[in-house]
Amino acid sequence: MQYLDLTLPTPAENLALDEALLDVAVAAGRPTETLRLWELDRPAVVVGRSSRLAEEVDRQACQRLGVPVLRRVSGGAAVLTGPGCLMYSLVLSFAERPLLRKVDAAHRFVLGVLAGAFCPMVPDVRCQGISDLAVGDLKCSGNSVRLKREHMLYHGTLLYDFPLELIEQCLTMPPRMPEYRGGRSHERFVANLPIDAATMRKVLLAAWQADEPCNDWPKQRVGELVAEKYDRAEWNEQY
């Protein structure tokens, strides 16, 4: 598997790079897999492909706090990311992993790898709900999927030193909640993993056997996607 540890200057560019890596895999015409790691230098809300902003985001609070709101290409609900939240992105091949064609199996597989990797340091880490990684019953990672014919993009958050109170300020209670949440507020439901970012990076690279540097990332496609989609209100504010 290739690996790319790269954070671009803006939230829009970083979301575009995730999609561009999937596009590259699709265009390659052969099984192509990549692990990307990145971390924004300022907070941003990222909503799911079909998220309704009024139901998931406190727009007034975000505007007051200077937190931009962008839309990703994958499903799921809104997340808040920024410093203290390591983002990971996986492009996976169905030719190499045919069971991942079923979304529920993809969640179980990826989150199982993550839980197994972190378990020696955090024994109570586990998969919870449909697409969460949790320490006990406290969520530390939310994840989502974008499917293409022969590849998928699976990406998510890994909280490790994030100001959790900011989540409460920027996000409303989600319209759909896993049973294990028990109706808890963001502040009572979310936790940081007790692992530093450098260690987390090493663990993820080893867990995915990502030992081939990706030195030629798709700069042109990123620019196209930013201009066409991620930097446009028509995309970010469509629902």
Does the pLDDT value for residue 210 go beyond 90? yes
- Three-state DSSP state, 223: helix
**C-beta of residue 69 within 8 angstroms of C-beta of residue 57:** yes
| Dist CA 171 CA 165 (whole Å) | 10
What's the pLDDT score for residue 215? Answer: 87
What's the pLDDT score for residue 66? Answer: 97
Give pTM, 2 decimals.
0.96
Question: What's the N-to-C CA distance of the chain in angstroms?
Answer: 36
State pLDDT tens for residues 92-123.
Answer: 999 999 999 999 999 999 999 999 999 999 99
What's the pLDDT score for residue 190? Answer: 97
**C-beta of residue 124 within 8 angstroms of C-beta of residue 136:** yes
Q: Where are the domains of the chain?
A: 2-236
State pLDDT tens for residues 127-143.
Answer: 999 999 999 999 999 99
What's the pLDDT score for residue 93? Answer: 98
State pLDDT tens for residues 4-18.
Answer: 999 999 999 999 999
Flag the least confident range among 26-30, 193-197, 224-228. 26-30
What average pLDDT score do residues 179-202 get?
97
**C-beta of residue 33 within 8 angstroms of C-beta of residue 1:** yes
Query: Crossing angle of helices 197-207/103-118, nearest 10°?
Result: 120
Confidence band, pLDDT 50/70/90 cuts, at residue 91: very high
State pLDDT tens for residues 22-74.
Answer: 999 999 989 999 999 999 999 999 999 999 999 999 999 999 999 999 999 99
Residues 6 or more apart from 139 whose CB is under 8 A from it? 128, 132, 133, 181, 189, 190, 191
What's the pLDDT score for residue 118? Answer: 98
| Dist CA 215 CA 162 (whole Å) | 30
Residues 6 or more apart from 14 whose CB is under 8 A from it? 7, 8, 38, 40, 87
- Three-state DSSP state, 230: helix
Confidence band, pLDDT 50/70/90 cuts, at residue 206: very high
| Fold classification of 2-236 (topology level) | BirA Bifunctional Protein; domain 2 (3.30.930)
What average pLDDT score do residues 65-92 get?
97
The rounded mean pLDDT for the chain is 97
- Three-state DSSP state, 212: strand
